[in-house]
Chain A
Amino acid sequence: MTEPKKLTRLQAIILLVALILTLFPIFWIVMTAIKPPTDWNASPAIWIPSEPTLINFKTLFDPDAIRAYGVGGVSQAATSAVIGSIIASVTATLLSVSIGLFSAIGISRYAKNSKWTPLVILSGRMFIPAAIAVPFVIIFSNIGLTDTYTGLIAIYVAITLPFSTWMLKSFVDDLPREIEEAAMIDGKSRLAAHLTVTIPLIKGGLFATTMFIFILNWSEFLFALVLSYSNINTIPVQLAKYVTATAGTLYGVQAALAVLAMLPLIVVGYFIQSHLARGMTFGAIKQ
């Protein structure tokens, strides 16, 4: 192993500034989540609450709890949003990764000379999401898919499939094709060779991709907002609902839900940190 390089003073200062810029919003959100309503908008700002409270977290699941502080009206508990996020994210992630896995194997092993494949696959990511959101709403309402988990999951799969395909393709590319050919010579069919040899050998990459796609789905806001009315809800949409017309923005409750939503991502992020760059760059960066 190579010895890590020592940072120069300038590099250390730049890194420190970057770290503060990155971590400050997280610090501020966590602090806001444990602030009582009087401290949310205090001026000058209160950095660390003198009387930390869990009332914001309680309000997430008991909307009337906050009334004790004289703050009115959260109309809806966040329970349905948490459940909705879990349903949509987990299902869409499993589908996206499953379809992406076989697409990746197909492209890596059987479409070597197709120079248009990358462009076609990535083209879905070239649109500004807002530009395709409106047509999707119209099409989905025509076929009855708005305000349904089926519709939301379908769109999540569609928008994350390029990521899962391309990220998994980079893992399959790393694997010598002889390994599958050896299994075929031993008597496996082509499909069985992929199932018994290819997939177990890229299970690390498969896990990383699953987690990465889960993060994308879990934090998706735009499509969830435009496709949900009353039947379905997700955490990012619920966060927006805490900006109320009557009681103003419920910063503490919003921060509490954000902290809760962040926890699984932090756990997942810890496990796949070495693979994250690969996902962000569509597999261009190898470990």
Chain B
Amino acid sequence: MSKPKLELVALRKEYDNGAVVAVDDIDLTISAGETIALLGSSGCGKSTTLNMIVGLEQPTSGDIHVDGQSVVKIPAGKRNIGLVFQDYAVFTSMTVYKNLAFGLEIRKKPRREISKAVFEVAELLGITERLKIPARELGGSELQRVAIGRTLVTKPDILLLDEPLSNLEAESRLAMRRELRRLQQEIGLTIIYVTHDQIEALSLANKIAVMNAGKIVQVELTTEICRRPGHVFVAGFLGSPPMNLFQGRFKHHADQLYFEHGVFSLNLSSTLNLVSIPSGRVILGVGPESLRLVSPGSGDASGLVSRVETMGSERVITVEIGGQAVHILDSAAVLPPRTEEAVDIAFDLNTLHIFDADSNLRIDLHETKVDHCEPAN
């Protein structure tokens, strides 16, 4: 199977004569055999991007290259790119077999070849025994298998998955996620996986491209993106609960370096070894797991507990600090604080993230000089 590389070059999609910009000049390169997740909240332009890649929508400007060749002028059916829809888009008036055979019949493949391919894909997806029944009799996860199978049977160069698991119940979703991971390993396709679910993105993709308001704000390896968010949006989007973000400024005082928030101040001299520090406003990112409750008077900041939520073995404690809700991830095993209780919080100074408040980009902490970290490409 060929493994093309896909490139999006300044890809843009406008609606209503430019009044709405759904996709805003995005650039993205995907290597052959790679699985990349387009992650973002609803309406950020993920599905529009997929529709342009597959050929259902024409870009307003920009280009799409597959194996170095522009495919913008090639109709959807001739790009050899498969798309699995969120709503399955299974032809319920046909049997499962007819659904799987549909794409090959259009391509006028010999009947024996179609039958062989359909049985192979049905075997791969575990739906061989359902081939003769009408698709309308299938349940959610089976419909999703048929939708994936119908795409796989045509042996696409690139497989696009548009929130394929979001209509499934939790149990089926876990099973399908395992299934997709297995397929990905067995077939080795180039896959673009659109989702708003970061767990899905983190568990299925090699790389994640985070989208916001039509732009790609960061593209990073899955193993790296949580450790080194390159943009404030990414820091505030990933994680459950996501990173706490505090606006403030760096200040030197008596040879010590402080982060001055309106309500608290952190001495960062032992953590940061910056030759020059940014003079403007910065945003300090602190993961909820990097904060802990400490005995009164011994913490870095004080606040009032506003909510305590236990989720299995973990607990999320929300503390109001200067009008800002700060989330702390704690073990459910320890005794929880009461709401309205005054508490102190200690920061783990070794796991801080700093962003420029104007550009929203990451400032690398452990360099000898201040360096704006451009989003990786």
Contacts and interface: CB of A to CB of B under 8 A. Distances in A.
Interface residues of B, number: 28
B93 A200 contact: yes
A188 interface: yes
A182 B83 contact: yes
B154 to A, nearest CB: 7
A178 B54 CA distance: 13
B56 A185 contact: yes
Contacts of A189: 77
Given A185-B56, A186-B103, A176 B87 contact: yes
B82 A185 contact: yes
Task: Rank and list the top 5 A-B pairs by shortest CB-CB distance, nearest first.
Answer: A187-B77, A186-B103, A178-B89, A182-B89, A187-B106
B92 interface: yes
Interface string A201-232: 10100000000000000000000000000000
Contacts of B93: 200-201, 203
Contact of B89 (A176, A188, A200, A203): A176
A179 interface: yes
A125 to B, nearest CB: 31
A197 B55 CA distance: 19
A197 B91 contact: yes
A175 to B, nearest CB: 10
Interface in B52-106: 54-56, 75-78, 81-83, 85-93, 102-103, 106
Interface in B121-158: 147, 150-151, 154
Contacts of B253: none
A183 interface: yes
Contacts of B86: 178
A179 B83 CA distance: 11
18 contacts: A178-B87, A179-B89, A179-B90, A179-B91, A182-B83, A182-B150, A183-B102, A184-B55, A184-B75, A184-B77, A185-B54, A185-B77, A185-B81, A186-B103, A187-B77, A188-B77, A188-B106, A201-B93
Q: Is the interface of A mostly helix, strand, loop or mixed?
A: helix
A262 B78 CA distance: 53
A239 to B, nearest CB: 42
Contact of A178 (B85, B102, B150): B85
B37 to A, nearest CB: 20
Given A179-B91, A185-B76, 20 more contacts: A176-B87, A178-B86, A178-B87, A178-B89, A182-B83, A182-B91, A183-B91, A183-B102, A184-B56, A184-B77, A185-B54, A185-B77, A185-B82, A186-B77, A186-B102, A186-B106, A187-B106, A188-B106, A197-B91, A201-B92
B219 to A, nearest CB: 25
B103 A181 contact: no
Contacts of A197: 91
B112 interface: no
A182 B75 CA distance: 13
Nearest to B16: A113
Nearest to B147: A182
A114 to B, nearest CB: 13
A112 B154 CA distance: 32
B56 to A, nearest CB: 5
Contacts of A181: 56, 76, 83, 85, 89
B89 A186 contact: no
Residue with the highest number of chain A CB atoms closer than 10 Å, among B76, B78, B92, B93: B76
Contacts of B89: 176, 178-179, 181-182
B106 A182 contact: no
Contacts of B75: 184
Contacts of B83: 181-182, 185
Contact of B103 (A176, A187, A200): A187
Nearest to B154: A186
Contacts of B103: 186-187
Nearest to A176: B87
A197 to B, nearest CB: 6
Interface in A137-190: 176, 178-179, 181-189
A36 to B, nearest CB: 54
Interface in A68-107: none
Nearest to A181: B56
Nearest to B106: A187
A2 B87 CA distance: 26
A132 B106 CA distance: 49
Interface string B141-178: 00000010011001000000000000000000000000
A266 B107 CA distance: 46
Contacts of A184: 55-56, 75-77
Contacts of A176: 85, 87, 89
A163 to B, nearest CB: 25
A197 B102 CA distance: 11
A197 B78 CA distance: 19
Contacts of B150: 182, 186
